[in-house]
Each structure stands twice: as C-alpha cells, then as structure tokens.
Amino acid sequence: MTEMSYPGWADGYIPDRLHFCAAPNESAQLWLARLVTQYGQYPASDADAMVCLGGDGFMLEMLHTTLERTLPVYGINCGTVGFLMNPAVPDNLPERLAAAQVAILHPLRMEATTRDGGCIHALALNDVFLFRQTRQAAKIRINVDGRVRLPELICDGVLISTPAGSTAYNLSAHGPIVPLSANLLPLTPISAFRPRRWRGALLPSTAQVRFDILETDKRPVAAVADFTEVRDVVSVKITEARELHTTVLFDPGQSLSERIIAEQFTA
C-alpha cells in the first residue's frame, strides 16, 4: 500500500469529468443535487473520478465497485465517522482532485468453507472476522503458511485487518494500528479466554492464514468479509489479493497515512 499523486493524470490536468454517487441520507442527497448542478454528471465509465457522498460505510461499498477498474474515488463526508472522507467544500472541486494525494489499497481475499460443503469467496478492504453464533465460546485453530501457530484459541472471535482497516474493528478489539507502508496484517483476538494473555500477532502481507473451527456442532461460528457474512463455517482461508486494488483520493495534508498516524496519538 502506497501514497502518491494520482499517476493517471498528466501534470496540470484538471479532472472535471466527475461521477457522483450518494448515500440515501438527506445530507448526502442535498449535496448530490448541488454538486451535479454545479459540475454535471458523467457515467462512471467516462469519468476522471468518482465522488462519493456519505460516510465510511457507503464509501466502502463504492470502493468495492472499483476494485477491477482504474477509477479513483474521492469521498466527501456526509455521514457520521468520515475517516476515509474529505470535508464537504463545494468550490473548486476539480482543482482539489488534481492536487489530491492517493492511497492504493489492496483487499483481503476470504475463502470460507461451510458445514454443508459450500465454498464462498469474498473480498474485504477493512477486515475479515470470525465470531461465535451462540452463547458458547468459539474454539479456533490458527494456521499461518501451513504451520499451526495456535492449536486452540477460545474466544468470541478473531479478525485479520488490512492496514487501512486497522483503525476500525481491529482497534476496537485492542489490536495495533498499522501504517499503510508497513505491509503488515494485524491478527487480533476478540475477547480471548484462552490463551488469556494472547494479544494477537503482526503478520507479513504475504502470509496465508487458515482458521479451522473446532467442535463445529457445539460451537458454530460465522465469518464476515466487509459486507459478506457466511454462517456455520468449518474453515476460513485469508490472503491479501495483491492483484486487485482501489485508489482513494485525499486533500493535501489529510492523507490516509497521516490520519492513521494521528489516530495513534488520540486519547
């Protein structure tokens, strides 16, 4: 994962062919009407950039649609958290895009096998996490690159996040925040009971991780990759999909790397 100026535009180019998309909330819809009137609306296939109006959840949905396209995405905060978003300022939007800094994000690829033999594939730009489906704690064996690293984790769940997602659920579960340039994936337990003091691990982005669910009849577990939830899994494989990426634009001085660093110094 890297940050740079957007390489798809020549020096001095002003990207004014914009495709706007908006979350269904009132604020985002008002901004959509205003900006389309001001700048026009181009089809995504002909646009220089996608401008996403909403919060982080809607932004994440839109980023998934660009994983196999070369369309950069610029978020404007019309939601709640806005960690991936820029301030809502209507003027000089093309010039702001031309000056923007770029973050290149690679997703995680999840392959989940269920008790009935099904195999579900999904991508995650934030994280892949497993969680218990009933009152019974989950029992999970952790393999990394074909080697059993933890024979049995008794827990509410476990997650692997991307560096960009390390400030989300991973941080709430007391996992480490990881800079974009680190090429590391945080592996974090969720309410671990045994080993009681195990706090997780930092894995290289090339790692191949497999979670095997123990006692699946008694202790059913579900797996989630961003928006895809799979119930009653027996094993989950996770790798970083380096062949895929999405491009996110940030105002100068407000890059994703800067936000991730700043998050580590907040109370």
pLDDT tens readout for residues 201-234: 999 999 999 999 999 999 999 999 999 999 999 9
Cα 105 to its chain centre, rounded Å, is 8
CATH number at residue 170: 2.60.200.30
Annotation says 56 is catalytic: yes
Annotated binding site for NAD(+): 56-57, 126-127, 156, 164, 167-172
Q: Report the pLDDT value the prediction gives residue 262, as an integer from 0 to 100.
A: 81
Do 118 and 236 have their domain in common? yes
Do 121 and 25 have their domain in common? no
> What SS3 string covers 68-105?
CCCCCEEEEECCCCCCCCECCCCCCHHHHHHCCEEEEE
Q: What is the percentage of the chain residues whose pLDDT exceeds 90?
A: 78
Q: Residue 37 corresponds to which amino acid?
A: T
Q: Report the pLDDT value the prediction gives residue 2, as an integer from 0 to 100.
A: 45
Domain count along the chain: 2
Q: Residue 118 pLDDT more than 70?
A: yes
Annotated binding site: 56-57, 126-127, 156, 164, 167-172
Q: Which range of residues forms the domain containing residue 179?
A: 108-240
Do 116 and 166 have their domain in common? yes
State the burial class of residue 94 (Cβ atoms within 10 Å of its Cβ: 0-12, 13-18, 19+): middle
Q: Residue 41 pLDDT more than 90?
A: yes
Confidence band for 196, pLDDT divided at 50, 70 and 90: confident
Q: Which of 48, 56, 212, 226 is catalytic?
A: 56
Do 68 and 181 have their domain in common? no
CATH number at residue 257: 3.40.50.10330
Cα 226 to its chain centre, rounded Å, is 7
CB atoms within 10 A of CB 167: 23
Do 38 and 80 have their domain in common? yes
Do 11 and 72 have their domain in common? yes
Q: How far apart are CA 77 and CA 71, in angstroms?
A: 19
Predicted structure pTM score: 0.89
Do 117 and 236 have their domain in common? yes
Helix (H, G, I), strand (E, B) or coil at 117: coil
Do 57 and 142 have their domain in common? no
